[in-house]
Structure 1
């Protein structure tokens, strides 16, 4: 055969092999991404292949440990390529060869460098193989970079919305609206709060569907309960309150989700709306339609009146006057915010406040010392919860300056209208068809600081039996008892009011 024919056939075979390599690399880039592509390229070239940034740091995971000599040579090649602005560079040193090529990308994006280190002589096909691979690697890297940027944007949006919810829960609606101004939709002046509880693993899907269906509502995953979702929907005055919004009938919500709905509240009272929706959720779990609205009940702070704020400010004065001794220590307002979160969410306050459990314990210990209270006692918890509600931002209870003595909490609980309020709290449990064991178990549970095991011991029951009876009380009262935020503090205060006046709840 003539020499020119042999050369032509060899060149044709090389072109076919190169085309096959390009097609295979494109296929690997679509299916496996950068790690698979680098692994195949290393096997094909017989070299250590890696991606490095302009500073010489690894931009991709290595398939095998890289020797010191190979790593130094690769960093030297990348530095030479970056400093001199070359399209490619080849460096030989101590029997090693390094070929470095920059990946192509859009202007403004810092693309990594493809580096291949050989410990043996290379053929003329290897530089072409690396050049062809750089195109597929560039596309794969840009795809992964874009995906990471989208994930960061989603995470930043979620964190912003969570921060806005945190401010609203603390009554700081003005600051929350300023931050929310960069997001959509705008926060309305009056809202209904929805708390949605779904089966594990569906929350992300529900959040995405609701974000599209409820265009005017704020949809935020709950930072405390992994299977809960907040929805802040505008309360339109022209809307019919008897009909649920269209988005509540979406397919994702019908698949095992429960919905609790609050009354119409102002944006400043988001925390109150959340507590109402949470109590409604406890009732929704026992209903076939899996949805419940909050049954209106006068708030105890509003029932007592302005005198409560006067008592509350004196009760919490040591915490208000507290000043941090060190920059890293919490001051009075931060201690009160921690206390409010703990009373609402118990040990889950660490997730709500994004603090360590040891930090939470230290702050609670400081509050106990300042107020000379025992936070393990339900009586002290109930007093603190009532005091915080009385002086919360946006609260309608204002202190009245009086020259007389400040009334005690027991004196306030003995007021006739407060006793009437307390009587209404337990009335659903006093119907003739309700077994007496239900209210008796609840009363014992309140007396024993809302602890299941001592209640079971006192009643000679199992803990599961106590939980079942308390769950029955939840259904009748339409209030959450076993999960925080709980109505246990209001119930203890109601029981205290009845005990002080030696009254028993009237039957329904």
Structure 2
């Protein structure tokens, strides 16, 4: 037959374990107050947890007599410093029991005050409660360390991505001295842009993270702007060069994730050197725009010839050089920010670089003043984007001023430019082309375009989403394909007039 005392001990210990289980399941750190209040309900004493030699109270029951701590000060100093593990004393009419918790100084001290000496079962329960608090606090510290580590590795991956998108692989290496990700030793990379629910995105990053905080030979970074985008930089050798070949590494993982979940889509860039990660991102964004209608919901960027590749080389580079010459005396920060805003929204650039939108705008204003361009105008941005692409692909020598210089209009009137525009716009239906033209004429303001066409703003966006899918160009998310359609429509309209 089990005696009543044993039944009580079993019952209260089960209650303590339930409280531990409840706190562990929440995963938000220990709630010391709840444990102390639970102990008070069981044995009727008041309890406080003192965390240092100065007598700082981390938590206590509502009626704890804090005045006793003044008389306990010398004792608390000895216990916090590790000289005593437990002590019993009298403070006025109160019986006080103290137990030091944990192995490391300064040790927190559990202080229990009551009108009389507690019974043996109550003393045992106080000790059990102290042990539980030690474990809960240690688990809480481990959780904090884990969260801090995850935050730190996330920030480092983001910094590496930012450096690569700015065309600075050497800066990325300097950031990671001592733990350089294998990706930075590769010659070429591909960028995979995975679209999935935000919670899944974060879980994928944690699941495939290695002990160094990277992802094997790759890098998975939560996009700071589009919360359902996961940016994955992988070495070029993980994607097969031709259909039918075997996928490897995380490339196979990402393709499988899309195959297994109908909510996922993915765009894959072509192969690029490390310093051209921004171009890889642009290609992946274009491919992602076409992915929803692809049978596998994965689209790869197919090597569409860029406009800069069909223009007369010498004349085009001379035009670009003259347009960009004022940037030679501009600050590198302003120039880099301007380059990034050609491929992503200003808000994205601000988050990417850890700047405010006002700071990004201020840098763009300096660029505008230098170049004499209005960068809020889509056609001016398209011209600048083309000049930057021409200059980065093969910088031109100083122009020969003895020869007549070409204007952008001259360059876009060539036969090869006309053929490029025709090929770019050929997949469009007439009504979608009208919508696209109205949107560009309205400086990409969907509401203004809707008024001009006499249709709703939602219809405009629906048409533009169809255009994205048909052309394989991103227009509405990062907007990396807008410049192509600006030039293509201009060329087509000029030829038709």
TM range (shorter): 0.7 to 0.9
Structure 2 Cα separation of the partners of residues 261 and 232 of structure 1: 10
Aligned partner of 2:27 in structure 1 is: none
1:424 aligns to what? 423
Could you tell me how far apart the structure 1 residues matched to 2:79 and 2:307 are? 73
Q: 1:135: how far off?
A: 1.8
Q: Give the SS at the match of 2:458.
A: helix
Q: Would you say 1:259 and 2:260 are equivalent positions?
A: no
Q: 1:155 to 1:200 in 2, by over 3 A?
A: closer
Q: Aligned partners of 2:327, 2:259: CA distance in 1, in Å?
A: 43
Per the TM alignment, residue 97 of structure 1 is displaced from its structure 2 partner at its CA by 7.1
Query: 1:229 is paired with a residue of what secondary structure?
Result: strand
Contact kept, 8 Å, 2:79 with 2:109, in 1: the verdict is no
Please say if residues 73 and 98 of structure 1, whose CA atoms lie closer than 8 Å, have aligned partners that are also in contact: no
| Contact persistence 1:341–1:352 (CA under 8 A) | no
What are the equivalent positions in structure 2 for 1:292-311 lying under 5 Å apart?
292-304=299-311, 305=313, 308=316, 310-311=318-319
TM-score (norm. length: structure 2):
0.81
Equivalent residue for 1:503? 495
- Give the alignment of 1:226-375 within 5 angstroms: 226-236=227-237, 239-243=240-244, 245=247, 246-251=252-257, 253-255=259-261, 256-304=263-311, 305=313, 308=316, 310-312=318-320, 314-322=322-330, 332-343=331-342, 344-375=344-375
Following superposition, the deviation at residue 134 of structure 1 comes to 2.1
Corresponding residue for residue 149 of structure 1? 145
**Contact persistence 1:283–1:479 (CA under 8 A):** yes
Give the C-alpha shift of residue 449 in structure 1.
0.8
Shift of 1:101: 3.2
1:40-55 to structure 2, matched below 5 A, reads 40-43=38-41, 44-50=43-49, 52-53=51-52
**Aligned counterpart, 1:389:** 389
- Ranges in structure 2 where 5+ consecutive residues have no aligned partner: 25-29
- Alpha-carbon distance, 1:96 to partner: 6.9
- Give the CA deviation at 1:408: 4.1
Aligned 8 A contact 2:173 2:180 in 1 = no
User: Which of 101, 104, 111 is equivalent to 2:102?
Assistant: 104
CA distance in 2, matches of 1:38, 1:309: 75
Question: Is the Cα–Cα contact under 8 Å of residues 167 and 173 in structure 1 kept in the other structure?
Answer: yes
Match of 1:158 in 2: 154
In structure 2, what is the Cα distance between the partners aligned to 1:49 and 1:355?
Answer: 45
Within 2, Cα distance between the matches of 1:136 and 1:414? 79
- In structure 1, the residue matched to 2:20 is 29
Provide the C-alpha distance between the structure 1 equivalents of 2:97 and 2:318, rounded to a whole number of angstroms.
78
Cα distance, 1:365–1:122 mapped onto 2, change above 3 Å: farther
Alpha-carbon distance in structure 1 between the residues aligned to 2:349 and 2:67: 52
CA 1:40–1:450 in structure 2 vs 1: closer, same or farther (change >3 Å)?
same
RMSD after superposition: 3.6
> Does the aligned pair in 2 maintain the 1:307–1:399 contact within 8 Å?
no
Q: Which residue number in structure 2 is paired with residue 9 of structure 1?
A: none
Q: After TM superposition, give the deviation of residue 503 of structure 1 in Å.
A: 0.8
CA contact (8 A) 1:456 1:462 kept: yes
1:68–1:337 Cα change, 3 Å:
farther
Query: Which secondary structure does the structure 2 equivalent of 1:292 belong to?
Result: strand
* Stretch moving more, 406-415 or 441-450: 406-415
Pair 247,128 (structure 1): closer, same or farther in 2 beyond 3 Å: closer
User: CA shift at 1:334, angstroms?
Assistant: 2.0
Distance 1:238 1:115, change over 3 A: closer
CA distance in 1, matches of 2:304, 2:105: 60
**Matching residue within 95, 106, 115 for 2:110:** 115
Q: Distance in 1 between matches of 2:82 and 2:105?
A: 16
**Cα gap change, 1:77 to 1:299, in 2 (>3 Å):** farther
Instruction: Give me the whole-angstrom Cα distance separating, in 2, the residues matched to 1:110 and 1:307.
Output: 74
Q: Secondary structure in 2 aligned to 1:202?
A: helix
For residues 232-272 of structure 1, the C-alpha deviation after alignment (integer angstroms, 9 at most, x for no partner) is 22222994421472324435652121011111222221111
Contact residue 309 and residue 398 of structure 1 kept, 8 A: yes
Q: CA deviation at 1:57?
A: 5.1
2:237 partner SS:
coil
TM-score (ref. length: structure 1): 0.79
Q: Which moved more, 1:78-87 or 1:395-404?
A: 78-87
Question: SS where residue 437 of structure 2 aligns?
Answer: helix
Structure 2 CA distance for partners of 1:361 and 1:248, relative to 1, 3 Å: closer
Task: Structure 1: state its 5+ residue gaps.
Answer: 1-11, 323-331
Answer with 350-359 or 159-168: which moved more.
350-359
Q: Partners in 1 of 2:445 and 2:73 — Cα distance?
A: 63
Q: In the alignment, what sits opposite 2:196? A: 198
- Provide the rounded CA distance (Å) in 1 between the counterparts of 2:458 and 2:57: 55
- Secondary structure of the corresponding residue to residue 193 of structure 1: strand
Q: How many aligned positions are there?
A: 470
- 1:445 aligns with 439
